[in-house]
Structure 1
Amino acid sequence: MNFPTPVLATGLLMANAASARTSPAPNQWNGKQCAVVLTYDDAIDVDLDNVVPALDSAKFRGTFYLIGSSPVVMKRLPEWRRAAQRGHELGNHALFHPCDGSLPGRSFVKPDHDLHTYTVGRAVDEIRANNTLLTAIDGKTARTFAYPCGDLQIGGVKFYDQLKNDFVAARGVSPGLQTAAQVDLSNVDAYSINGQNGQYMIDLVKQAQASHTLLVFLFHGVGGGHSLNVALPAHRQLLRYLKAHEKEIWVAPMVEVAEKIRTEQR
C-alpha cells in the first residue's frame, strides 16, 4: 500500500511546529506538553505478538485499526478481546479495507474491493458492519475510524460525512502537528512510519512537546509482518523515550484523545 512519504527534513518539521500555537490552551492535553497516539493498522499477527506486549510492558495503550475480514481477527479473537480489556482501542479500518484502484501505484487493489467502483452506501454499510463486529469483540460503542490507504472520497463524495455520528474521529495519513483547536476530527493527521529509525520518531515527539501539539504515529509492521515496517529496536527506543517523559507527554488511544479534542473545540 502506498502512503504519503513522511516528512523527513528537519527544517520542514520545524516549520510545521512553528506554525502551531506555542502557548497551549489550558489543559488541552490533560495538563501535559503534548499528546502522542500510537496507532497500528491492518490487524496483523505482529500486533499481538510484538506490539501489545511492548505497550503493556510500558503501561501504554495503543489503537489497533482492525480489518474485520482479516484472518488474524478470526483466528485470534480472544487475544484482541483481552487487549481491549487492558485498555487498547480496537479501531475500525473497514470490513474489507477497500482502496481506490484507479490511483497510481495501486496494483495491489483487488477488483472486488476497489473503492473506485463502490457506492457511498456500500462503503458506509461495510464500515458500520465492521463496527458491529468490533462491538461484539470489545463491548464498546465509542471508537475511531482510519481511512484505508488514506482514501477520503468516492466519486468526489467524502463518504465519512455519513459516518460522523458513528465515530469520535477519523485518522488520515497526512503528516502534521496541530493544537487541539486546529485538529480536523474528520481527518486527523498522522506520520506514517516505514523504515525510519528511533531517533527520527523521538525528534518528532520533541517537536510536539515544543509546540504543544498532537502527534499521531501510523505503524504497520513492527519487527516484520508487513511491507511497511519499523524495526523492533526503533519502536522500543520510541517507547523508552515516551516512558522516560510520561510526566510531560500524554500517551493515550485515539478515541480518548479525540474525545478530549472534541471537548476543547466546543
Structure 2
Amino acid sequence: MGLLEGKKLLITGVLMDSSIAFHVARIAQEEGAHVVLTSFGRTMKITQTISRRLPQPVEVVELDVTNSEHLDTLAERLRPLVGELDGVLHSIGFAPQGAFDFMSATWEDVSTALHASAYSLKALAAACEPLMSPGGAIVGLTFDAKFAWPVYDWMGVAKAAFESTNRYLARDLGPKGLRSNLVAAGPIRTTAAKSIPGFEQFEQTWDERAPLGWNVGDPVPAARACAALLSDWFPATTGEIVHVDGGVHAMGQ
C-alpha cells in the first residue's frame, strides 16, 4: 500500500519536468494518489504536454490564483473530478523583474509579487476548503525567508509574508482538522529560478555551505518531503517549515 493510497490531490505549478511540483505529482501517483493539476492561460498547453510524462494521465483545470472568478468556481469545477480533496500543493510564485531591485521597485511591482506569491496561499486554501475533509493537508514551497538574500529582494519579502500566512492558516484551519505546512527547499534550477536575475550566485555557493551537499539539478528530495506532508504521517504537525536544503539553514556564515 502506497504512502498516499486513495488520496485525492490538487497540485499547482507543474510547468517543466524539472520542477518540484512535477516530481510531487509523479511521486504521489506512484504512491497511489489521484492527482489533478492546475494551469492557466498560455501555460495551459505546456502543463498538458508535460503532464503526459507522468505515470498516469491527469486532468488539468484552469486556475490563476490572482483571478477571483477562477478561485470562486474552483471547488465547483473540481467536485466532478475528485468528489473531495485530501491535499493541495501550492507551488506558485511570481514577481515582475522590477521587484528584484529592492530600492527601485514600485508598489505595482511589489503588490503583484505579494498577491501572486503570498496572498495566493490563503486564497487557494479558502477555494479548496469546501472539498477538504478532516485530516487534509495544504503544503507550500518556500525559500527560507529569515535572511536578506542576494538578488531575491521583494520576492524574499513576499516569501516572508508567505511563511507568516502559513502560520495563520494553521491557526484558522486547525480546528477544522486541516494542516498547513511548508517545505523550504534549497535552490533548484527550475523555470522560476531562471527568471531571477543573478540566481547563479545561489548555485555557485550552496553546495559548498551545505553539510550534506546540494545538487541544484535534483528536485526529488524536496518533492519527497512534500509528499510526506501530504500523507497521514504528520497528523499533528501544522504551521511548520521543513527545511530540505542540505542543512544550510542551520549553518553560520
| Alignment TM-score, normalising by the size of structure 1 | 0.36
Relative CO higher for 1 or 2, CA cutoff 8 Å, sep ≥ 6? 1
| Greater helix content | 2
